[in-house]
Every structure is written in C-alpha cells, then in structure tokens.
Structure 1
Amino acid sequence: MSTSKLRLMILTALVAAICVIGSFIKVPGILTTAALDSAPAFISVAFLPPLFSGIAGALGHLATALTSGFPSGPFHILIAFEMLIVTAVFNILHKKGYKILKWIFLILGNGVLAAIPFYFLISPAFFIAAVPSLLIATIINALITAIVLPIMGKVFSEGKVSNL
C-alpha cells in the first residue's frame, strides 16, 4: 500500500472519528436523528477527495443512528448512503469553485432532498415532521463548516500542511 493511500485512509478515519464526537450533540426534533455529525465531513472537503469525505459523512451518520438507538431501523443505511452522496457532491462543487451553489446544494440536498424517499417509504407525515429538524441541523452544520472551511483551506493552500 502506498504512503498516499495510507494517509488518505488515516485522515478519513480521523474525520470519521470527529464525526462520531459530533453525533453525541443532538439537534432536538420530533422524528429525526439530527446531530452535529456532518460538519467535520463537510470541512474535510478542504483536504480529502470526494469519495473519502463522503465515506466519513456516511460513517458519521451511522454513529448518530447508533447513539440514537437506530429509530429508523435499516433505513439508516439509506440515509448513510445519502450522506455519502451529499458530502461527495459538496466536495466536488467546492473543488470546482462554486461558492454559492455548493451551499444551496448542501442545505437543500441534506435538509430536504435526502428526506424525499421517506415520503414514499414511511409516510408523507413523517416527511413533513422530519424536514424542519433536518433543515435546522443542516443549517447549523453548514454554519460551522462556513466558519472553519476557509481557515482549513488557507492552511492547506499556504503549505502549512502537505496536500494529499
């Protein structure tokens, strides 16, 4: 295994571990398992490739589900996959320089679009009850990311930390 692949795996594991810590900070809601687990994965777009930051985000959601007692059962696997996609796309948009579009996608993708399957899988009432909590949690995670991401970007662009 090459040193760069090992470095990527270690950084991904470290980001996932920070996501686990965030999973203990819950955002109160009626039907959701919203927490501050995704901000570290969103921040990792400064130094991880899309797939790796997405994996960290998916693991962060699974940690939140675990610390919440898996209230949605096997649907948490779907939610983790959605988290992987949202984080990876956010990463791609960030790396391509879409300063506004990435935030719109992040908030709508994680706060509304990710809940749409549950409109059909569970019920419209579940969807309507879940979206406000998801939006609030997404906005909080996005605000944390918006504060920290420019600092991380500056650290990596100035060469204070070697890029991967």
Structure 2
Amino acid sequence: MQHTKRLTLTAMVMALCAIGALIKIPVFSTTAALDAAPAFISAVFLPPLYAGIAGGIGHMLTALTSGMPLGPFHFIIAGAMFIVVSVFALLHRRGQHTLKWVWALISNGILSPLPFYFLISPAFYISATPGIVLATVLNLVLAAILMPILQKVFARKGVHAA
C-alpha cells in the first residue's frame, strides 16, 4: 500500500510539474519554466528518490513543451535535475534547511549547465547561465513560500512524510 501511495503522489507531482512546464520564463537560449517548484516542494512528503524522479521528468515535460531545442541534451539536464532534487530532498529530511537552498541554487543554476560549456560552447554556457539562475531563483522562491504551508497542513492532518 505504501508503495502505491508513493507512486500516486509522485505522479501527482509530475502532473504539477507539467502544469509548471507550461508557465515559461522568458530568458535567452534556455527552456526555463516553473517546472521545478513542485519537485522541490515534494521534498516535504516524498522520499528523495521519488522527488528526484519527479524533478527529472518535470524537466523533460518542459523540454517537450518547448520543442526540445537542445534535442537529446535534455536527457543530461533531466539527469541533473534528478540529482539536484534528490539531494535537496535528502538535505530537507536531515534538517539542513539553509544548505538545501544553497545546494539547489548553486547546483541547478550554475553546475547543471556546466556540461554544455564543453558540449556546445563556452559562449552558450555564459549566455544561458543567467537565465537558468533566474529560473532557479523563481522556482525556489515559490517552493520556499509553499513548503511551510504544506508542512503545517500535513502536521494538522496528522499525516507523516513518506
């Protein structure tokens, strides 16, 4: 039963990521959207592995709704999102609340696009990074606003995180 509940919650987070993927952030040369916020928020109630899966698939949904401008390179980004959100959720579980935000901002905004410095060009990395940082900040602000609210709702209803 617990496994079914986790899969259902993960699917619901992915659906929210799909909705966020439709809310584009107009930045140069990237597929930025509000797809990551639901995945970061899911750290409240999903184990790190499941939250990471939601984050990775959330990025793929953004890429698909943007026309896959980087082609198969989006699989690299989805893998990076999996790692970023999984570690974020792990830090959340361990009570490392300041570190989780710093981790998410640096890893998603600066380190995740780093492979494209070598795969595409330094100019692409330099032009894309400010937009990715902006999108990361917007996703994190949204998550920071909603996570405490969701935690209070869970506590009031007597629901324990998975």
Any unmatched runs of 5+ in structure 2? none
Kindly provide the CA deviation profile for residues 41-88 of structure 1, in whole angstroms up to 9, marking residues without a partner as x: 000000000010000111110000000000000000110010000000
CA distance in 2: counterparts of 1:20 and 1:53, whole angstroms: 14
Aligned residue in 2 for 1:24:
22
CA RMSD after TM alignment: 1.0
Say whether the 8 Å CA contact 1:46–1:156 is kept in structure 2: no
**C-alpha displacement of 1:162:** 4.9
Q: Please give the residue correspondences for 1:43-62 in structure 2 after superposition, counting only pairs within 5 Å.
A: 43-62=41-60
Q: Please give the residue correspondences for 1:1-164 in structure 2 after superposition, counting only pairs within 5 Å.
A: 3-164=1-162
Letter in 1 for 2:126: I
Count of residue pairs the alignment pairs up: 162
TM-score normalised by the chain length of structure 1 = 0.96
CA distance in 2: counterparts of 1:159 and 1:148, whole angstroms: 17
Letter in 1 for 2:136: T
Any unmatched runs of 5+ in structure 1? none
CA distance in 1: counterparts of 2:84 and 2:155, whole angstroms: 24
Percent identity of paired positions between Structure 1 and Structure 2: 52
